[in-house]
């Protein structure tokens, strides 16, 4: 296994990684591609320890992409809908969707009306 093949497999995983639309200049996939290039990119052949490390890195990224932990350890309604604020996560997701579409935050107009800094 060469360093280039490791970087190529990491780049292939990065292409299928979901993009962050809220902060497009900071992508998680760019971070792990950069780490793979820094660690393995300049090496023609890898030692057995480096090969094991590279295989663990690729396997970990594949598990993250497949949502293995989410599927293995499902989160129940006690966590997703706490009694103190049952709609907290629903409201959080709606806020993220509004931010993705470019809408103003809920209270931005009210803050402007009172002359507060946004």
How many CB atoms lie under 10 A from the CB of residue 5? Answer: 13
| Token representation of residue 44 | 């023609």
Q: Which residue has the higher pLDDT, 44 or 11?
A: 11
Q: Residue 118 has what pLDDT?
A: 56
Give the model confidence (pLDDT) of 28-83 as tens digits.
Answer: 999 999 999 999 888 888 899 999 999 999 999 999 999 999 999 999 999 999 99
| Token representation of residue 113 | 């009306």
Burial of 2 (0-12, 13-18, 19+ CB in 10 A): middle
For the chain, which residues make up each domain, given as ranges? 3-72, 77-113
The rounded distance, in Å, linking the Cα atoms of 48 and 110 is 61
Full-model pTM = 0.74
């Amino acid at each position: 296994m060469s360093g280039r093949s490791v970087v190529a497999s990491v780049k292939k995983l990065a292409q299928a990684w979901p993009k962050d639309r809220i902060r497009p200049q900071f992508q998680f996939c760019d971070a792990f591609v950069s780490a793979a290039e820094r660690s393995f990119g300049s090496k023609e052949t890898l030692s057995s320890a480096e090969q094991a490390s590279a295989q663990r890195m690729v396997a970990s990224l594949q598990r993250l992409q497949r949502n293995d932990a989410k599927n293995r350890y499902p989160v129940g309604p006690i966590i997703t809908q706490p009694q103190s604020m049952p709609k907290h996560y629903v409201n959080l997701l709606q806020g993220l969707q509004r931010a993705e579409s470019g809408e103003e935050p809920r209270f931005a107009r009210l803050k402007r009306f009172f002359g507060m800094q946004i």
